[in-house]
Structure 1
Amino acid sequence: MLFTRLVVSLGRDPGEAMKVVAYLVWLEKRSKDFRLVSKLLHWPDPSLNDLANEAILALNCIESDHFPYHVNIIGVLRLTQSVTQKCVTIRYLHENRVSIICAVTKIINDDEIFDDANELLRSIEEERMNNIVPRDDRTIFLTFSKGYPISEAEVRDYFSRRFGDIIEGIYMQEVNLTEQPLYARIVVRSNAINVIDVFLEGTGKVKFCINRKHVWARKYVGKSPSPSPSPSPGRLAFM
Structure 2
Amino acid sequence: MDAFIPPVSLEESRIFQKIDRQLYAILVLDLWRNPLECLQVMGLWLWFERIGFSNAICKILSQPSFLINDLADEAIACLKCMESAQFPLQFEATEIPLTQNILQNNVSLKFFHLHRHTAYPEIQTLIMEVYVPVLSDIMEKACCSGSVQTVTGGQNSMQGHAASSANPMMVAQSSYDGPSMRSFSNINTQVSTPPPQSHVTHANEPALYERTMFATFSKGYPVSESEIRQFFSRVYGNCVESVHMQEVRADEQALYARVVFHRPAFIESVLNGMNKAKFSINGKHVWMRKFVPNTSKP
Q: Which is higher, the Rg of structure 1 or of structure 2?
A: 1
Using structure 1 for the length normalisation, give the TM-score.
Answer: 0.48
